[in-house]
Structure 1
Amino acid sequence: MTMNRSALILAIALALPTLPAAAHVSIDPAQAAPHAYVRAALRVPHGCGDAATTRITVRLPEGVTAARPMPKPGWTLVTTPREGAPEPTGHGAVRDLGTVTWEGGRLPNEHYDEFVLRFRVPNTPDATLWFAVRQDCEGGASVNWAEIPAEGRRLSDYPHPAAAMRLTPR
């Protein structure tokens, strides 16, 4: 029994370096089919130190279109079109959004929450989309989750990685 426990502990220890950092803003699902419509949740696991989160701003990657954020009770929703995007036409047409912000709510440090978007991903199989997220907190603290790993590096190599969504191969 002791031998099995030791083997289990060793297996867990060896697997840990390959796991992504657990304390960053992430996106769920972490992968999608190319050219698909996706409902995704940005997961915010904590505040800034002990300060509560009061604003989340996500910068949508190039190629992401038809984005529609889900309103969140207690939070104000602000959308900004991508620079150079055509103005929306009537009948529910969607602008090409550059950023989406939820603000004015309060997410205490000891809780986590999700901020939901629906969008279409580009038709680029086997690519990674990087969603930069700025987290602003009470007292002026903020964290910019926007680092994109260099070739050959892992998310866990960075203190503030962007949220990553992998587009599957065909």
Structure 2
Amino acid sequence: MSSRSAILALGLLAAGPAAAHVSLEVQQAPANSTYRAVFRIAHGCDGAAMTRFTVRLPDSVTEARPMPKPGWTLRTTARGAAPEGHGNVPPLAEITWEGGRLDDAHYDEFVIRLRLPDRPGELFYIPVVQDCEGGTTAAWVEIPEPGVRVTQYRYPAPALRLAPRN
């Protein structure tokens, strides 16, 4: 593990999942594996209900399949063409659920199955954006700079540690 990774890991651990309003249920997974990303949404935006949730997939995610959610319309934005073969889908740049409603007093989860990059030891950030009634937005897109604690950011992106593959 590089010293940069160690510093970032300490910052992430110090913040803990309670520091962010959007977090991942499982915060460590083997690099270059299929991962079930469960995004936990603690509430809406400053008292307003959430009506759209967007996940911005890093370029290093080569495969992603979102889970439909009753009461929400699922929309995807492709990054390129699908590779040839049965069941192959194009790499995705964004996944958005919209048209539903998550009241500020409630909690919910959104799920994507994705292929993680092959970078063991790194923290892998997945930026997300909550859009709420009245035009309020919470963009959880901040990726900590080396040597800066995640707790120093107001809107840190959800992150997970890429562990060595067994």
TM-score in terms of structure 2 length? 0.85
Q: What SS class does the counterpart of residue 154 from structure 2 fall into?
A: coil
1:54 alignment partner, one of 51, 56, 61: 51
Letter aligned with residue 150 of structure 2: L
**Cα distance in 1 between the residues matched to 2:14 and 2:117:** 27
1:40-119 equivalences in 2 (<5 Å) = 40-82=37-79, 85-87=80-82, 89=84, 91-119=86-114
Q: Which runs of 5+ in 1 are unaligned?
A: 1-16
Aligned residue pairs, count: 152
Residue 128 of structure 2 corresponds to 133
1:143-154 equivalences in 2 (<5 Å) = 143-154=138-149
Are residues 1:29 and 2:36 paired? no
Letter aligned with residue 108 of structure 2: D
Letter aligned with residue 92 of structure 2: L
Residue 4 of structure 2 corresponds to none
Structure 1 position 23, deviation (Å): 3.7
Residue 156 of structure 1 corresponds to 151
Sequence identity, in percent?
Answer: 55
Structure 1 position 86, deviation (Å): 2.1
TM-score in terms of structure 1 length? 0.84
1:87-121 Cα shifts (integer Å, max 9, x gaps)? 45563211100100000000000111100000110
Contact 2:20 2:156 in 1 (8 A): no
Runs of 4+ aligned structure 1 residues displaced above 6 Å come to: none
Q: State the structure with more CA Rg.
A: 1
Letter aligned with residue 45 of structure 1: A
Contact 2:51 2:101 in 1 (8 A): yes
Q: What SS class does the counterpart of residue 74 from structure 1 fall into?
A: coil
Letter aligned with residue 26 of structure 2: P
**Cα distance in 1 between the residues matched to 2:49 and 2:122:** 34
Contact 1:61 1:129 in 2 (8 A): no
Cα RMSD over matched residues?
Answer: 1.6
Q: What SS class does the counterpart of residue 153 from structure 1 fall into?
A: coil
Q: What SS class does the counterpart of residue 77 from structure 1 fall into?
A: strand
Q: What SS class does the counterpart of residue 65 from structure 1 fall into?
A: coil
